[in-house]
Amino acid sequence: MGSIGWDEHERAVARLRASYDAIPAGAPVRLAKRTSNLFRPRAEPTGPGLDVTGLTGVIEVDPATGTAEVQGMCTYEDLVSATLAHSLVPLVVPQLRTITLGGAVTGLGVESTSFRSGLPHESVLEMDVLTGAGEVVTTRPGDALFDAFPNSYGSLGYATRLRIGLEPVPGHVRLRHVRFDDPARLVAAIDEITATREWEGTRVDGLDGVSFEPGEHVLTLATWTEPTDAPTSDYTGQQVYYRSVRERGEDLLTMEDYLWRWDTDWFWCSAAFGAQHPLVRRLWPRRWRRSDVYHRLVGLDARLGLVDRLDRRAGRPQRERVVQDVEVPLARLPEFLAWFDEHVGMRPVWLCPLVAHRDWPTYPLAPHRVYVNVGFWGTVHVGPDAPEGPTNRAIEEQVHALGGHKSLYSEAFYDRATFDRLYDGERLGAVKSLHDPDDRLTSLYDKAVRRQ
């Protein structure tokens, strides 16, 4: 995908502002956008919404400064396509192709470079935000709006343009899959790699892992490398990437395939649709082996209740959906995994170390402290209490007892006082009052917990 240029961007912003003006005074301001990477139920929008159809591109890439000007609704798939043409990539590229840059910044994104580059919002140099008052405000690090924007999920406005830092990359990535049977040794290895950015004398550029079983943890160490004549693996065809983590000691991928290694099978969740069965996989079109396709299938099931019907017919207890990403301090990771095995029992789980470079008040990870993002996505059979979210509630309590935090892209069950304490509700409210005095945008608590 090429750059769209500034003139086209300005026209798109004008259309966006015109769509804001068309929303009746006092009516809620929402995006006219039906696709999403969120996993929490949302109220169906009514009435006109914000027209963001022209805000999906890359404005320009500047190799000389190592920066890109990007529209807020641009997907990382399109962003990476534009930057790789210059042998550059964003400092952190979330795992799924259709996550948007604005979504990753106003939400939270994490990937294998997060142990050295933090979260996506930490590489933003400047952004324009359409506020609830209908103004487009330019904001930079240190501004109240900028610093409160991460983890605000649209409650403070929508990014229309972001200037981000990029890093140079070669064409290939060499992987080492390192096994650990003891979580204490796993923690020690993560601690060493985040401190030295190497393992056994070899530089580590990307770090994530999978915990397959209580005694089987694998860290994947990625090293950027120049292209060679050696063959590269292809996990967009018959082979499934997460299985290779367990089966292989080393691997070689192109940079593009490495960035999207998790997308083809939505980590391991494509198995729920039969897409990992060899026969089904041969018949399943390659262009449909994508996270956004699986996400739509999940949405279809939510509307039709097909899985619930099959469970009732088979006499199985009702399922509770447990789709969460949490950040746990590195030293408490063994304790969390042991608790998780006893109370949830879902495997595999994804492990992604991260280090925040500064304080972000609305998602207060201690700067320069190593956390591990633990991602788990599936269902558990809990019976008639499933709608009350007992497993999710227990996870919330345990994560915060261990000094961690939970992302808000999925279901949350906090009471208001706890939510405000964890996510600095007082600061969010002050910034929202300043930039949305008529309360046109739904508050973060109403979005995340009340599902409005």
List the domain boundaries for the chain. 6-169+432-448, 172-262, 305-413
pLDDT in the model for residue 169: 98
Q: Do domains 172-262 and 305-413 have the same CATH topology?
A: yes
Q: Are strands 67-71 and 58-62 parallel, antiparallel or unpaired?
A: antiparallel
Read off the amino acid at residue 176: R
pLDDT at 41: 62
What is the CATH code of the structural domain delimited by 305-413? Answer: 3.30.70.2520
Q: How confident is the model at residue 46 (pLDDT cuts 50, 70, 90)?
A: low
Rounded to an integer, the average pLDDT of 19-37 is 83
| pLDDT higher than 80, residue 204 | yes
- Can you tell me the mean pLDDT for 24-36? 80
Alpha carbon of residue 40 to chain centroid: 14
- Which stretch of DSSP H or E encloses residue 292? helix 291-304
Q: What is the pLDDT of residue 365?
A: 94
Region 150-161: mean pLDDT is: 96
Task: Write down the pLDDT at residue 335.
Answer: 98
Among residues 294, 292, 356, the alpha carbon closest in space to that of 110 is found at 356
Whole-number pLDDT of residue 51: 93
Amino acid at 299: G
Residue 278 half-sphere exposure, CB side, CA atoms within 13 Å? 0
pLDDT tens string 281-300: 999 999 999 999 988 888 88
Helix H or strand E encompassing 129: strand 124-130
pLDDT, average across residues 408-416: 94
Q: Phi and psi (nearest 5°) for 206?
A: -135, 140
Q: Which residue type does 187 have? A: V
Q: Which CATH number fits domain 172-262: 2.60.120, 3.30.70, 2.60.40, 1.10.357?
A: 3.30.70
Neighbours of 303 (CB within 10 A): 7
Q: In this model, does residue 311 exceed pLDDT 80?
A: no
Tens of pLDDT along 315-333? 899 999 999 999 999 999 9
pLDDT at res. 42? 60
DSSP 8-state symbol, 163 = E
Confidence of residue 108 (pLDDT cuts 50, 70, 90): confident
Q: Supply the pLDDT for residue 307.
A: 81
Contacts 24+ apart (CB under 8 A), 311-316: 311/381, 316/381
pTM: 0.94
Is the pLDDT reported for residue 186 higher than 60?
yes
Which of residues 51 and 39 earns the better pLDDT score? Answer: 51
Does residue 280 carry a pLDDT above 90?
A: yes
Taking the alpha carbons at both ends of the chain, their separation in whole angstroms is: 35
**For residue 400, is pLDDT > 70?**
yes
Question: Distance between CA 316 and CA 337 in Å, rounded?
Answer: 26
Q: Would you state the pLDDT for residue 1?
A: 57
Task: State the Cα–Cα distance between residues 429 and 208, nearest whole angstrom.
Answer: 35
Band of pLDDT at residue 310, cut at 50, 70 and 90: confident
Pick one of 3.40.50.300, 3.40.630.180, 3.30.465.10, 3.40.640.10 as the CATH number of 6-169+432-448. Answer: 3.30.465.10
Mean pLDDT (the chain, rounded): 94
Residues 361-371 have pLDDT tens digits of 999 999 999 99
**What are the residues facing 129 on neighbouring strands?**
137, 159
Task: Find the DSSP H helices in 64-108.
Answer: 76-84, 101-106
pLDDT (mean) for 350-377: 95
Q: Quote the CA–CA distance of 29 and 442 in Å, as a whole number.
A: 8
Residue 93 pLDDT > 80, yes or no? Answer: yes
Quote the pLDDT of residue 12.
Answer: 96
Helix (H) / strand (E) element for 324: namely: strand 319-329
Secondary structure of residue 376 in the 3-state scheme: strand
**What is d(CA 24, CA 37) in angstroms, rounded to the nearest whole number?**
28
Residue 205 to residues 86, 186, 197: CA-CA distances in angstroms? 19, 18, 7
Q: What integer pLDDT is reported at residue 345 of this predicted model?
A: 92
CB neighbours of 27 closer than 8 A, spacing ≥ 6? 47, 440
Task: Fill in the DSSP letter of residue 24.
Answer: P
The answer on pLDDT for 190 being more than 70 is: yes
Distance CA 58, CA 12 (A): 13
164/230 Cα distance (integer angstroms): 33
User: Is 414 a residue whose pLDDT tops 60?
Assistant: yes
pLDDT band at residue 2 using 50, 70 and 90 as cut-offs: low
In single-letter form, the type of residue at position 407 comes to S
Min mean pLDDT across 171-175, 295-299, 334-338 is at 295-299
Higher-confidence residue of 171 and 34: namely 171
Contact by Cβ (8 Å): 378, 345: no
Q: What is the pLDDT of residue 132?
A: 95
Closest CA to 289 of 258, 322, 253, 262: 262
| pLDDT score for 149 | 97
The torsion of the CA quartet 414, 420, 422, 426, rounded to 10 degrees, works out to 170
How wide is the angle at C-alpha 104 spanned by C-alphas 99 and 107, nearest 5°?
120
| The pLDDT of residue 36 | 64
| 353 in Cβ contact with 377 (< 8 Å) | no
The helix/strand/coil state of 372 is strand
pLDDT at 32 over 80: no
Closest CA to 52 of 114, 101, 117: 101
In one-letter notation, the amino acid at residue 91 is L
pLDDT in tens, 210-263: 999 999 999 999 999 999 889 999 999 999 999 999 999 999 999 999 999 999
Give the C-alpha separation, 347 to 189, whole Å.
21
CB atoms within 10 A of CB 76: 29
